[in-house]
Amino acid sequence: MRSINMLKSDEFRFSVIGLEHNHVNGQTNGLLQAGAVLVNVYDEDPEKVKNYIEKFPQVKAVLSEEEILRDPAIQMIVSVVRPDKRASMGLRIMRAGKHCFSDKPGMLALDEVAEVRATCAETGKKFFINFAEHIQVESAIYAGKLIREGAIGRVIHVTMLAPHRLIPDRRPAWFWDPKQAGGILADIGSHQFENFLTYTSAKTASITSSRLCNYNNPAHPGFFDFGDCSLVADNGATGYFRIDWFTPDGLCTWGDCRSFIVGTEGTIEIRKYLEVGISPEGDHVYLVNKTGEHRIEAKGKTGLPFFADMIQDCINRTDTAMTQDHIFESMRLALEAQEKAKIINI
């Protein structure tokens, strides 16, 4: 996947604290492709550091977080610590005079959202979240472009289906504890809330219902493997999404994630990662409107502009990639949906 490099040599330098999830690789690649320079990495697990260096041999391992936080030449820190530590790490990063690019979920409590928002305002530093199911998916980006161009009129409803593969033997202990991981609506669901706000052009929304269930993991009673949510935006658009850990073993990728967008003048379907039984390739967009039926291969059409835009936002104090209000509202909705969900007992 390509990004857009608008940087002079060595103009934007970043380091990494925390390697708790492989999402760090996508975050790193996006920044590198946008022209940023990777400097240092720290994690308390030397095996994780070794694996990261194998992928990014230009990076230098350091012995502490403080060595990175104190380095005046670092403009951004990618933070992929355990989810329950992400908000506090983000606060430390911004108070150290650096921008933060956290994996999702960026925080696990509503008071953390408020504190991170306030610290952004106080320090003038940015807090970005890796909403990868949007910013790293060209079909999702291209669908947003079609909507902005008026291809389907005003968006009135968005449905999203986001199954994921569990692979329980590969999950760390913290994954099963919602106090440490956040829970399915707060974690995976944060993607869907961000997508909903993007496609509807909404500033805010309210949760009308949300549900959680543990259907198939009795050994982890505090864990929920299914969640869904209905919501309505401030502009009247409605939405529904379902997320789960039930991707079948026979699927060629980790999840058949799809989005269905209804507008006043047409519809869009996004098949992000494959076409089942047709193609293992992703980034397919189906547009139906007054001009006809269109099947669009989105790969290669947009690139991944978020990363270059994010860097420019940090340099120029702009809000091109994604506004801070949009980021915090996405997380507020995800946390509220998780907190207020009805538990389905079986």
pLDDT in tens, 27-84: 999 999 999 999 999 999 999 999 999 999 999 999 999 999 999 999 999 999 999 9
4 versus 94: the higher-pLDDT residue is 94
Average pLDDT over residues 170-176: 95
Task: Tell me whether the CATH fold assigned to 13-130 matches the one assigned to 134-303+335-344.
Answer: no
Question: Two tokens at 280?
Answer: 């293992």
Let me know: does 25 contact 32? Beta carbons within 8 Å: no
Q: Write out the CATH class of domain 134-303+335-344.
A: alpha beta
pLDDT in tens, 121-139: 999 999 999 999 999 999 9
pLDDT > 70 fraction of the chain, expressed in percent and rounded: 97
The answer, yes or no, to whether residue 112 has pLDDT greater than 90, is yes
CA distances from 66 to 6, 16, 264 (A): 30, 12, 53
* C-alpha–C-alpha distance, residues 167 and 180, integer Å: 19
Average pLDDT over residues 205-224: 97
Q: Which helix (H) or strand (E) is 54 found in, with range?
A: helix 46-55
The answer, yes or no, to whether residue 1 has pLDDT greater than 90, is no
Q: Which helix (H) or strand (E) is 329 found in, with range?
A: helix 324-340
Q: Mean pLDDT lowest for which of 2-11, 160-169, 289-298?
A: 2-11
176 burial via Cβ count (<10 Å: 0-12, 13-18, 19+): middle
Average pLDDT over residues 137-148: 98
Average pLDDT over residues 156-170: 97
User: Which residue, chain included where needed, has tokens 């543990």?
Assistant: 214
Provide the residue count of the chain. Answer: 346
Of the candidate CATH numbers 3.40.50.2300, 3.40.50.720, 3.40.190.10, 3.40.50.1820, the domain formed by 13-130 belongs to 3.40.50.720
CA distances from 114 to 79, 88, 229, 341, 343 (A): 19, 12, 23, 21, 26
* C-alpha–C-alpha distance, residues 93 and 66, integer Å: 10
pLDDT > 90 fraction of the chain, expressed in percent and rounded: 97
Domain-wise residue ranges, the chain: 13-130, 134-303+335-344
* C-alpha–C-alpha distance, residues 97 and 71, integer Å: 10
The answer, yes or no, to whether residue 6 has pLDDT greater than 70, is no
pLDDT in tens, 282-320: 999 999 999 999 999 999 999 999 999 999 999 999 999
Q: Mean pLDDT lowest for which of 3-17, 48-62, 106-120, 245-259?
A: 3-17
Which pLDDT score, from 0 to 100, does residue 2 have? Answer: 46
136 burial via Cβ count (<10 Å: 0-12, 13-18, 19+): buried
CA distances from 289 to 139, 286, 293 (A): 18, 10, 7
The answer, yes or no, to whether residue 8 has pLDDT greater than 70, is no
Average pLDDT over residues 130-151: 98
Which pLDDT score, from 0 to 100, does residue 3 have? Answer: 52
Residue 11's pLDDT band (cuts 50, 70, 90): confident
Residue 10's pLDDT band (cuts 50, 70, 90): confident
